[in-house]
Chain A
């Protein structure tokens, strides 16, 4: 337990000490919120869907969580390059605990980042339906954060250098984001696109967050929780296995 805690603490400390990075990673969700929120707002409104800012608020919060958690996992790659990874790999601690500490740390900072995005969204005019929504929203934020922190760890354990990073970014992270329904409603889509969105774990996170914040769900909260829990377990197992197999 002490090992999990100290590695969790390391991730959190590193995050809190990189202020410029925190601000930089707020910029992207903010850009989506403001530019798309106000830019597409009138079209969205006139098609009878209500306020677009309200609609994409949960989407950009999930986006902040997605990026922060997946990159924290890929941060493993930096530790490999700068050598710190070796120090943890030869320690007399089961690798499962090391992986757990790192992944929980990544999930925690993604939660903090998601909360910061929420605050920024509220400044920009986003309004949750009620304060009672907060616990449920936090649960979905945590589930989403764990899913993608574990995925990041699995990827970070498999990649050998930064060349693969662009590949992951363009063929994995961006599709996960665009297919999640963060930016558009997942209804009345072509069948192929519907299937693709249903295969995207982030879609369940976004749907759950939207249910909590604005009372709108297209999938169903129970399904969201079940799918996210199953996928989180799966990715944690994958991440742990990939991590245990790392050779320097």
Chain B
């Protein structure tokens, strides 16, 4: 598959990964088998890492807690950023982990069933890692937008049903 179409396939999946192979094939003017093979190739190459759902947890009355955690580390000759990241990323409570520029080194998103659990997790599992020198935890108070999806009710289509 040519590079441009391959990229567009990824864009289509990012927009909605649940579309049928048949629909995607029609949208990209390709054969269904070609799309299927390409998605498999993208998965094997590690371009596509997984598929998930965007959830408004409030609507599920789920009182889970989420926090951004800033982490500062000090490196030594034997320890790289990758080593520390690998250690932190293994915890299932850590849903995102990025190395960032600026005042701190790692930005984590931590999700647990309650704020208490988040606090305990950070103090008991993250802070004690020897290279970690400081953590700052910001609890999420409300979600407005997740990966491109608005959590509001959206706008009604106010267009006239038939227009010139």
Bound pair (A, B): no
* B-binding residues in A (CB < 8 A): none
